[in-house]
Amino acid sequence: MLVSTDRIISSVIETLQMVSISFIFSIVIGLPLGILLYVTRRGQILDQPIIFNVLNIIINIFRSVPFIIILVAIIPFTRFVVGTSIGTEAAIVPMVVYAAPYIARLVESSLLEVDDGVLEAANAMGATPLQTIVRFVLPEALSSLVINFTIAIIGLVGASAMAGAVGGGGVGDLAITYGYQRFDGVTMLVTVVILIVMVQGLQSFGNVLSKTIRRK
């Protein structure tokens, strides 16, 4: 193996940083967008088909571009935001651009699962639209949201590995520069195992968390 254990550990940390920071930003942007999609849908709480359609199309556009294209296509924007297009910080920008619309969609689908009867009860109690979302819809959807966020964060782990291709750092970077370009099979194997462990861990954590919420 051409790389030291320290190097592996530091790239694991880089990956975790990229994934967690981009995940947080994606939620901050994606959650409100998802809620907006949900409430503006025809027949829903706010019923604003025009806003819904515009948002719907924009999100679809972002969602149809493959991550590897986003990565290079938005380099000028990345440079504008973080000042550079190489390194861990630079990878976070395209990761958020990739994941936020994805999360918006996942949030929308989670919220749509909430039973219409609950909305009817909220309406009968005279809840305001904000109260309906905060007190009724979000708590009822929480368990499903956690499952969907798990899917999103695993998507980000995959994206972070790809970001390695353009010098984003992290485990993916290691796999490409050593495993692929220098034919170091052991490093390749180690990085793949690390990624498997990460994905398995996140999925199990998400499942347990979702289950706990459902029961509580």
Partner 1 sequence: MIEFIDVSKQFNRKGVTTDALKNVSLKVEPGEIFGIVGFSGAGKSTLIRMVNRLESPTTGDVKIAGQSLEKSNTKEIRTIKRDIGMIFQHFNLLDSKTVYKNVAMPLILQGVDKGEIDRRVTELLDFVGLGDKSKSYPDELSGGQKQRVGIARALATNPKILLCDEATSALDPETTTQILELLKEINQTYGITILLITHEMSVVREICDRVAIMEKGRVIEEGTVFDIFSNPKTDTGKSFVNTVMHNEVPEFVLKLLHESPEERHIYRLNFVDDSAGEPVLSQVSKKFDVETSVLFGNITQLQDIPFGNLIVEFIGQGREVASVLSYLDSRNIIYSEVTRDAR
Residue with smaller CB distance to partner 1, 123 or 200: 123
Binding of residue 212 to partner 1 (CB under 8 A): no
Q: Is 40 left (phi over 0), alpha (psi -120 to 50) or beta?
A: alpha
Residue 140 binds partner 1 (CB under 8 A):
yes
- Please state, in angstroms and rounded to a whole number, the distance separating the CA atoms of residues 149 and 18: 16
Q: Is 154 in the site for partner 1 (CB under 8 A)?
A: no
Q: Is 22 exposed, middle or buried (0-12, 13-18, 19+ CB in 10 A)?
A: buried
CA atoms within 13 A on the CB side of 47: 3
Does 29 help bind partner 1 (rule: CB under 8 A)?
no
Instruction: Give the binding range for partner 1 (CB under 8 A) out of 50-58, 89-97, 130-138, 186-194.
Output: 130-138
The smaller minimum CB distance to partner 1, of residues 182 and 214, is found at 214
Does position 216 interact with partner 1 (CB under 8 A)? The reply is: yes
Tell which one of 6, 57, 124, 181 touches partner 1 (CB under 8 A): 124
Is 136 among the residues that bind partner 1 (CB under 8 A)? yes
- Provide the token pair at 12: 């694991």
> Per CB under 8 A, does 135 bind partner 1?
yes
* CB-count exposure of residue 208 (10 Å: 0-12, 13-18, 19+): exposed
Half-sphere exposure of 46 (CA within 13 A, CB side): 16
* Shortest separation between residue 58's beta carbon and partner 1, angstroms: 27
Site for partner 1 in 98-117 (CB under 8 A): 115, 117
Amino acid identity for residue 55 in this structure: L
One-letter amino acid of 175: A
Query: By rule CB under 8 A, what count of residues binds partner 1?
Result: 22
What is the contact surface with partner 1 in residues (CB under 8 A)? 115, 117-118, 120-121, 123-128, 131, 135-136, 139-140, 142-143, 213-216
